[in-house]
Structures are given as structure tokens and as C-alpha cells.
Chains A and B, each alone.
Chain A
Amino acid sequence: MFNSYTESLAVFFGINVLMAFSVYLPSSAGLISLGQGGFMAIGAYTSALLTAKDVPFALALAAGAAVAALIGVLVAAPAVRIRGIYLIIATLGFGEIVRILFINLEFAGGASGLSGIRPLTTLWYVVGVCFFVGLCLWRLRTLTLGRAILAVHEDETAAEAMGIKLLQTKLIAFGGGAAIAGLAGGLFAHYALFIDPEQFGFSRSAEAFLFVVLGGSGNPLGPVIGAAVVTLLPEVLRFLQDWRMSFFAVLLIGCAIWRPGGLVAARPPSRL
């Protein structure tokens, strides 16, 4: 049905969609993270080390997500008290700490990485996880938690005065984003079959952030479109050869000028 090129493209697209979701969820509570690569690394290493011990794949993936979420909450508990640019810097620092931690973890392969990971990720696995996460995020909008997250984003003081627990809401949003990045990491590890700390560095985090900025953070479709453009467009533009990435850069600047809110506009409340 697919040749190996389109299949790998589809798998990496799916993993990127998850990374985009992992930025989207905390960002809808006003928490911008530039450290999602770190959570992806935690999910990737946790699940890869577990499947090496013959733990079933689904369980290993869930464990990777859970460990990422736990660390996400631990990191966020002090970090969500700061806002805006300071939180971005804190998460950026976190991503670097995780990268350097894995370089120094001997049992995880250190700087030379972890190889011989079992090929357990299939395209349908990725599609299934993407749909599951996407549906949960879409559903969130009409739940009390989803409304609370948006209210916190809009006006913290008014949200708190209306009985919303600020810290708890932010921790759920941030921990949820970390869990999704952990899932993406687990799927990535069992498809790439080799992981090293450099794969989850700043460029990975920045890329995930870019998906959401480009696609728009108003609803879950935005990150999907953002991930699609960033993942697939460079492939489509191959005919431009050396000018490929330059064209891509121009396109991004164009988006910033003409669609500053992202490619997908926020769903207006009137349609709900």
C-alpha cells in the first residue's frame, strides 16, 4: 500500500503531530514551552529501556508518557509561577538539562546513544495514537477542564475569582503536554531504532513550537496543519533543490506577516 518512503514520512508526520499537540495543550493555558524535546527524550528512553526488558509495547509507551508527565509536573510546579518569556527560558533550560543528563547516563548508552531498539512502531499504531490524542484534545474544549484552561489563559485573576484552581489547572495542562511528548518519544524510538540525546535537543523543541505558531493555537486542528506544513512541504519542494529551505523560510515569514494567528483561525465561540 505504501512504499517505505511514504510510510516513513507518514510516521514522522504523525510523531510531529503529537509533538505539536504537546506544545498546544500547555499553550492553551498560556504556558509556552521550548523544552518539549526533553519530555520526548524521557518517553523515548523510558519506553526503549522497557521494551528491551520484554515489557509489552503499549505498556512501555504508557510508562514513557507517565514518567514524562510526572517529571513535567515536578518541573512545572515551581515553573508555572513565572510567566511569559521567563517560563520559555526555564523550559529551554530544562530541555538542555535532560539532554546532558542522558549524555551522562551510562545505562542509557550515554553520548553514543541506545541502539538495537525493537521495531515495534507501525504506521497504524502512530495513526491510532494521533487520533486518540486529537479526539481527547477536541473533546476537552467542552469539558469543565477545557473551559478552565482557556479561562486561565484569558484572565488568571478572573479565573481564580470564579473558583478555578490556578496551580492545579496549569499543572494538568503542562503535565498533559509532557505526557503527549513522552508518547511521541516512545513511538519515535521504536521506529528510528536508534536514539541518542542529540536527537531531542533544542532544535526538536523549537520545531514542535514552530508547528503550533505556524498552524495556530486556537483549536487542535492548527497544530496538525502546522506539523503537516513543516513535515511535508520540504518534501514537496524538493524540485527547488538548493533553494528549498530558502523558499520555506520565505513562506514562514509570509505566514508571520499575513496570518499572525496561525494558518487555522481560532474557532469562533458562536459555532459551539
Chain B
Amino acid sequence: MSDAPLLDVTGVGVTYGGYVALDDVSCRVVENSIHALIGPNGAGKTTLFNVVSGLVKPESGSLQFRERQYTGLRPDQILVMGIARNFQQVRLFPVLSVIENVMVGCHSRLPRTSFRDFVLGPLGRDKVDRLARERAAEMLDLVEYRGDTKAPPSQMTLVDQRRIEIARALASDPQLLLLDEPAAGMNPAEASQLSEIIRKIRGLGRTVLLVEHNTRMVFSLADEVTVLSAGKIIASGPPSAVKSDSAVVTAYLGNV
């Protein structure tokens, strides 16, 4: 492992109309860390996620992943490169079952279906299908999803839907996992279970970049915290340092 960060965002700027969403934002995510991104609503956290995952093209600045410039790549190319994400508003595919949703996440890592598999598939001998199913089941297990895997996701609780979405992202075997408010709508017990899952994901050698409002979870979980406010980075560092930073306290945490 080199000293270079896994993800290196340099001087990124995004404006929507006249509104400055991100202004000269730079951020380095170290490999195999849990890096949290916090800040008040409208600070630009989700915009930064969209930039990193390619859904929004930055007007200025550059993105590097494993020391490779990737600014301007399409979202599907970025996923293949090794960055996967979930969505703040859960975006599972309604007509697909839970397991099929996660199987979509495997697509980029699956071999092509051979002619033999195509013909023998109805007899249960489609190797690609079996591979995808096994991997998807494994991912659902990893996120501790215990519900019905063959039902449509809309029948599941929001908490389970979030788990399914994390499993779908993990199925693509990402080196960097972007989690946008995964604990939103969770009770404290569920949130601490999620913290354990995130630690487990890091334990598998992956890196997690996390947007979260649950500050208790963030400060107990993260190795590194970056604070965004009004499109600018106002602090970055280990949780203990950020927690006591006066600018952060004023803009976001408040005096406790």
C-alpha cells in the first residue's frame, strides 16, 4: 500500500444555476479507512457523492482514484473502476425481487452467459445465474438482511431496503463504498448494528466514505471526519480534533 490516497478530490466546484453547491472542495480518502462526511443540510454532501460517482460532472477540479485521473467518466465506468454507492432516497428497482436487485449489482463482475447456459438455463444449469445468485445471497447475508429474498423490495421496511441497497452496491466488489445517510430512519439499536456492518465491510479490505447525520455514530465509527458547510470544507481530521473545532461547533454541532 502506497501513501497516496485511494480517492483524491481536488478543487471541485459545482454550481446549479447561480447556486454554488460545491466551492473548491478537496478531500482525500485513505485506503481501508472509514471516512465520514458531515455538515448541515444543503452543505453539498450529496452533491459531492454525485460528483465522485459520476452522476454530476464538476465544472472545475479533478478526481483521482488509485492515482488515476477519472474526471468525466460515466457512472457505469466509475462503478467498474471500483466505486459503488447507495442513495439517500432508496432507489431499488421495484419490478425486480430483492435478490434480483442485488444480482444487478453483480453484473459488472459476471462472465458472459454462454450459449450452453442460455439453452440449459431453464433446467437450472445457468452457471452465470447461479454465480450471481450465490454472490447476491452472500451480500444480503453480510448486511444481515433476514427477510424474504424473492419478494419485491417495496414490501420491506425502509431499514431493510437500505440494507438491500448496501448489498447491491457491495455486490459490485467496490474498493470504495459511498454510503449516503445509511442510518436515516433507523432506531439506535439498528444504527449500532449498521455500525458493526460498516466495520465488517472495512474489515474486508474495503474503504467506506460515509455521509451521516447521526453524529454519535459518526464519531464512534470514523477514522477521519470531513465537515462541509455551504459548499466549503471547514474542517478535516480525526474525530477528536474535528469535534472540538470551533468552526465546526458553530456551523453544525452546536454547543453541547
- The answer to whether A164 and B93 touch across the interface, beta carbons within 8 angstroms, is no
A68 and B87 CA atoms in complex are apart in Å by 39
The 7 A-B residue pairs with the shortest CB-CB distance, nearest first, are A269-B97, A163-B108, A163-B79, A158-B91, A154-B93, A160-B75, A163-B76
- The answer to whether A165 and B96 touch across the interface, beta carbons within 8 angstroms, is no
Task: Choose among B79, B91, B108, B152 the residue that contacts A268 (Cβ–Cβ < 8 A).
Answer: B152
Interface set of A (CB-CB < 8 Å, partner B): 139, 142-145, 147-148, 150-151, 153-155, 157-166, 218, 266, 268-272
- The answer to whether B87 and A142 touch across the interface, beta carbons within 8 angstroms, is no
- The answer to whether A163 and B172 touch across the interface, beta carbons within 8 angstroms, is yes
- The answer to whether B55 and A165 touch across the interface, beta carbons within 8 angstroms, is no
Q: Counting CB contacts under 8 A, is B68 at the interface?
A: no
Q: A148-B107, A160-B74 are in contact. Are A270 and B53 (CB under 8 A)?
A: no
What chain B residues lie within 8 Å of A158 (beta carbons)?
87, 91-93
Q: Counting CB contacts under 8 A, is B241 at the interface?
A: no
Q: Counting CB contacts under 8 A, is B103 at the interface?
A: yes
Interface set of B (CB-CB < 8 Å, partner A): 53-55, 74-76, 79-80, 84-85, 87, 91-97, 100, 103-105, 107-108, 110, 113, 118, 121-122, 126, 128-129, 132, 148, 150-152, 168-169, 172
B250 to chain A, nearest CB (A): 35
A selection of 10 A-B contacts at a CB cut-off of 8 Å is A139-B118, A142-B121, A143-B128, A147-B104, A154-B93, A154-B96, A162-B168, A163-B80, A269-B152, A270-B97
For the A-B complex, the count of residue pairs with Cβ-Cβ distances under 8 Å equals 102
What chain B residues lie within 8 Å of A147 (beta carbons)?
96, 100, 103-104, 107
Task: Choose among B76, B84, B129 the residue that contacts A160 (Cβ–Cβ < 8 A).
Answer: B76
- The answer to whether A161 and B96 touch across the interface, beta carbons within 8 angstroms, is no
- The answer to whether B93 and A151 touch across the interface, beta carbons within 8 angstroms, is yes
Q: A161-B55, A268-B152 are in contact. Are A151 and B76 (CB under 8 A)?
A: no
A139 and B79 CA atoms in complex are apart in Å by 27
What chain A residues lie within 8 Å of B76 (beta carbons)?
160-166
- The answer to whether B105 and A162 touch across the interface, beta carbons within 8 angstroms, is yes
Task: Choose among B53, B118, B148 the residue that contacts A161 (Cβ–Cβ < 8 A).
Answer: B53
What chain B residues lie within 8 Å of A272 (beta carbons)?
97, 100, 150
Known: A147-B96, A147-B103, A159-B93. 15 other contacts (CB 8 A): A144-B107, A147-B104, A150-B93, A157-B91, A158-B92, A158-B93, A159-B104, A161-B76, A162-B105, A163-B107, A163-B108, A164-B104, A166-B76, A269-B151, A270-B148
Task: Choose among A151, A163, A271 the residue that contacts B96 (Cβ–Cβ < 8 A).
Answer: A151
- The answer to whether A161 and B128 touch across the interface, beta carbons within 8 angstroms, is no
What chain A residues lie within 8 Å of B129 (beta carbons)?
142-143
What chain A residues lie within 8 Å of B87 (beta carbons)?
158, 161
A150 and B53 CA atoms in complex are apart in Å by 22
A182 and B54 CA atoms in complex are apart in Å by 38
A160 and B104 CA atoms in complex are apart in Å by 11
By beta carbon, the residue of chain B nearest A145 is B113
Q: Which of B104, B105, B152 has the most CB of A within 10 A?
A: B104
A155 and B92 CA atoms in complex are apart in Å by 8
Q: A144-B128, A155-B93 are in contact. Are A161 and B150 (CB under 8 A)?
A: no
What chain A residues lie within 8 Å of B53 (beta carbons)?
161
Task: Choose among B54, B80, B97, B113 the residue that contacts A144 (Cβ–Cβ < 8 A).
Answer: B113
B238 to chain A, nearest CB (A): 30
What chain B residues lie within 8 Å of A145 (beta carbons)?
113
What chain A residues lie within 8 Å of B75 (beta carbons)?
157, 160-161
A244 to chain B, nearest CB (A): 37
A143 and B152 CA atoms in complex are apart in Å by 18
- The answer to whether B79 and A161 touch across the interface, beta carbons within 8 angstroms, is yes
A144 and B105 CA atoms in complex are apart in Å by 10
- The answer to whether B104 and A148 touch across the interface, beta carbons within 8 angstroms, is yes
What chain B residues lie within 8 Å of A266 (beta carbons)?
95
What chain A residues lie within 8 Å of B172 (beta carbons)?
162-163
B40 to chain A, nearest CB (A): 25
- The answer to whether A269 and B79 touch across the interface, beta carbons within 8 angstroms, is no
What chain A residues lie within 8 Å of B105 (beta carbons)?
162-163
Q: A139-B122, A144-B113, A144-B128 are in contact. Are A161 and B85 (CB under 8 A)?
A: yes
What chain B residues lie within 8 Å of A163 (beta carbons)?
76, 79-80, 105, 107-108, 172
What chain A residues lie within 8 Å of B151 (beta carbons)?
269-270
B115 to chain A, nearest CB (A): 12
A5 and B175 CA atoms in complex are apart in Å by 65
What chain B residues lie within 8 Å of A269 (beta carbons)?
95-97, 100, 150-152
